[in-house]
Amino acid sequence: MAVPQGRAPDVTVLVGSIVAIGSVSAALRALPQVSPTTVALTLLLVVLGAATLARLQTAIAVSVLAMLTLNFFFLPPVGTFTIADLQNWIALFAFLVVAVIASNLSAAAHERAREAIARRNEVTRLFDLTRDVLLTTETAGAMDALARYVARRFELPAVTICLPGDDGWKIHQGGTEELSLDNDTLNLALAKARGIVEFDARRRAYGGHIHVGPGDGITLVPLRHGTKAVGLLAAAASSAIDIGTLDAVAGVVAIAVERAQFLGERDAAELVRQKADLASTLLASLSHDLRTPLTAIKTAVENLRGDLTAAEREEQARAAATELDRLTKLFQDLLDMARIDAAAIRVDRHWVTAADVVDAASAHVRHALEKHPVRVDADADRQIEIDPRLVSVALSHVLENAARYSQPGSEIRVHAGVSHDGLHLSVTDQGPGLDPGELDHLFERFYRGRMARQTTFGTGMGLSITRGLLAAAGGRIWAENVPGGARFSMIVPGAVRQAAVAQ
C-alpha cells in the first residue's frame, strides 16, 4: 500500500516509538522521586508524535505500549502489571483514552489533508488536461494525442478512447499498455449509458459506468455531450484513480471530442470557402490576363495583313511574339501551381555556380528587365548541388516582380553567393517598398497588395510559386523593407565544392 504523502512508513514509526519510550522511561527512572503525572505527559508526547507520523492503528499500538510502560515501571507496585490504588487505575485509563483520542484526531486530520491534496492534484491535472485540449488545433491524430494526454497527466498505464463510427468502433490507445475490448462489450456499455442520467454524490460520478474483463479489470465510463452518450473512456480498474475522478476526465474528453468535431467542420467549411475564393480570383485574373495578350496578338495579326513596311512588319511580329511569350509564361505558371498542389515537383540536383543560376533566371525574364539596369554580384568560384531549374525559375519570378513594381530606369541589384549552409540569393529594388501590414500575406496564392492592385496587372501567383518551388528544393524565401526599396532573400541548402573540382 502506498504511504500517504507526508507520512513515514508505519514500521519505521513503530520502531522509533519503541526506542523513544524505552529512552524516556530509562531517563525518567534515573530521576529521584519522579511523578507519575510527569511520566504520563512525557509518554503522551511520544504517542502524539507517532499519531502525527503514522496511521491510526500504529498510533493505538504505541498508546497501549506507553500505557503498559507507565503501569510496569512507574505505578506502584513497580515491576508488575498489578495496580493497587484505584486512583492509579483511573489515571491509567484516562491516559489510554487521551492517547487514543489524540491519535484518532491526528489520523482524521491527516486523512482530511490527504483528501485535500488529492483533490488539489485532481483539479490541477484536470486543468492541465484542459490546457492540452485547447492547445490541440490539428484535427488529424487529435484523439490519439488526447488519449496520450490523459495517460500522461493521470499516470495511467492504459487508457482508451472509444468512439462509434459508421464502420464500427474507432479505438484510440494511450499509455504504455493496450486495452483489448470487443465490439459487443462496447455496444452493450454504450447502450447502458444511454439510459437516465443520475448523479451519485457519494462517488462523485454519473451513472452508466461498468466493469468488464476478468476480475472486472477494465472500467468503462461514458463520454457525454449533455445527456447524450457519444463514446466511452476505458481505463484499467487497478489504476490509482477513483471513479469520480475518472468521470471528470471523461467529461473533459467529451468536450475535446466535440471540439475536434467542430474544428474538423470548420476546416472543411474554410476549405470550401477558400476553393470558392480561389476559383473566382483565378477566373477574374485569367480572364484579364488572357484577354490582354490575345487582343494584342489579334491586332498584330490584323495589321500584318495590311500594306506595311518591313520595319512596321518587324515591330508587329515582335509585339505578337512578346504576347505569345506572356501567354506561355502564364500557362507555365498554372502548370507549376498544379504541380505544387499535387506535391509532384521532382528535384533533379546538379553542380552549378551561383552565377549560372542568376544567368538562367535573367534570360528567362529578359523582356521584363529591358527597362532596368541590373547589377549582379554573383559567386562563380564555388559550386553547389541543387536543382538549377527550380531555383532559377523561383529567382525569375522575384526578378520580374522587382521590375514590375519599380520605376523604369531604376536599378535592380542581385546578390548570389555560396556558403557552408547553401545558396544565398537576394534581389533589391528601388520601388515604393512593402506595406508592413501585408508582409505576412505576400506569398499567399493570388494575393496582390493594395498598391499592386492599383498600379499593375497580374495573377498574384508569382511569389506563391516561388515559395512552393523553393520549398520543394528544401529552401525558403522572405521579404523585408530596406532604405530606398524592398529586398527579397532566398536560401537553398546543398553540398558545396570549389568550382575547380569540376574542371
DSSP letter, residue 207: S
Confidence class for position 4, pLDDT limits 50, 70, 90? very low
Residue of 25, 21, 33, 27 whose CA lies nearest to 99: 21
Cα 477 from Cα 479, distance rounded (Å): 7
The pLDDT, as a whole number, for residue 292 is 67
For residues 364-387, average pLDDT = 90
What's 479-503 look like in SS3?
Answer: EEEECCEEEEEEEECCCEEEHHHHC
How far the first Cα of the chain sits from its last, in Å, is: 77
Residue ranges of alpha helices (H) inside 54-85 are 56-74
Whether 268-341 and 138-267 are alike in CATH topology: the answer is: no
Q: 365 vs 48, 377, 399, CA distance in Å?
A: 92, 18, 8
Cα 204 from Cα 189, distance rounded (Å): 20
DSSP letter, residue 84: -
Domain boundaries, the chain: 10-120, 138-267, 268-341, 350-502
Query: What tens digit of pLDDT does each residue of 71-128 get?
Result: 788 877 777 777 666 666 776 677 777 777 777 777 777 778 877 777 787 778 778 8
The pLDDT, as a whole number, for residue 494 is 92
Confidence class for position 3, pLDDT limits 50, 70, 90? very low
Confidence class for position 503, pLDDT limits 50, 70, 90? very low
Overall pTM > 0.85: no
Residue 95 contacts by C-beta under 8 Å, 6 or more apart in sequence? 40, 43, 44, 66, 67, 70
Query: What tens digit of pLDDT does each residue of 182-230 get?
Result: 888 888 777 777 765 665 555 555 555 565 554 457 878 888 776 778 8
Residue of 180, 122, 124, 128 whose CA lies nearest to 149: 128
The pLDDT, as a whole number, for residue 487 is 93
> What is the average pLDDT value for the chain, to the nearest integer?
78
Cα 314 from Cα 320, distance rounded (Å): 10
**Residue 162 pLDDT exceeds 50:** yes
Confidence class for position 5, pLDDT limits 50, 70, 90? very low
Q: Which fold has domain 138-267?
A: Beta-Lactamase (3.30.450)
Cα 253 from Cα 160, distance rounded (Å): 11
Q: What percent of the chain has pLDDT over 70?
A: 79
Q: Is 378 exposed, middle or buried (CB count within 10 Å of its CB: 0-12, 13-18, 19+)? A: middle
Cα 162 from Cα 222, distance rounded (Å): 10
Cα 427 from Cα 412, distance rounded (Å): 7
Query: What tens digit of pLDDT does each residue of 390-431 get?
Result: 899 889 889 988 888 888 899 999 999 999 889 999 999 988
Q: Which class is 268-341 in CATH?
A: mainly alpha
**Residue 501 pLDDT exceeds 70:** no
- In which residue are the cell numbers 515537383 written? 345
How many other C-beta atoms can be found within 10 angstroms of the C-beta atom of residue 142? 20
For residues 29-43, average pLDDT = 81
Confidence class for position 375, pLDDT limits 50, 70, 90? very high
- For residue 148, the Cα-to-chain-centroid distance in whole angstroms is 12
Query: What tens digit of pLDDT does each residue of 281-300 get?
Result: 556 555 655 666 777 788 88
The pLDDT, as a whole number, for residue 207 is 56
The residues facing 68 across adjacent strands are: none
Residue of 356, 433, 377, 429 whose CA lies nearest to 399: 429
Return the SS3 of 129: helix
Superfamily (CATH H level) for 350-502: Histidine kinase-like ATPase, C-terminal domain (3.30.565.10)
**Residue 328 pLDDT exceeds 70:** yes
Return the SS3 of 356: helix
